[in-house]
Structure 1
């Protein structure tokens, strides 16, 4: 397990929620396994990213928080510490 420090410029791109999850996960070079760990199954995350299911607000919030995004505004948090592993 490690700690990843991310410093990002505030902003939000014009994508729907499932597209934002995939976009930011890929931009952080996170696997679906790493993002889903402790939140949901990898297959469920895949369905979310592909727009095949709409998760609860709680699942969205947990995924966005792990990605360093504010779940209420979908904006990038200026500095975020993420645990992974």
Structure 2
């Protein structure tokens, strides 16, 4: 991971979200640590930006939602 960070970022600047698409190994490590340890089981609040229907449930634009990442991290159909 350090090797990738040194190669992509170097030592003369701070990492930013713009770098994420070039940090494949680092992203994979962070995702796997999150999956195994489930450090943040409840994600930050989000708000729907438009009206949506999910599995027959209507969710209005502006509804506050709290995604639960653990529902995906432990789903064997998603994480193999």
**TM-score, normalisation: structure 2:** 0.23
Structure exhibiting the larger radius of gyration computed from Cα positions:
2
Return the TM-score normalized by structure 1: 0.22
Greater RCO structure (CA 8 Å; 6+ sep): 1
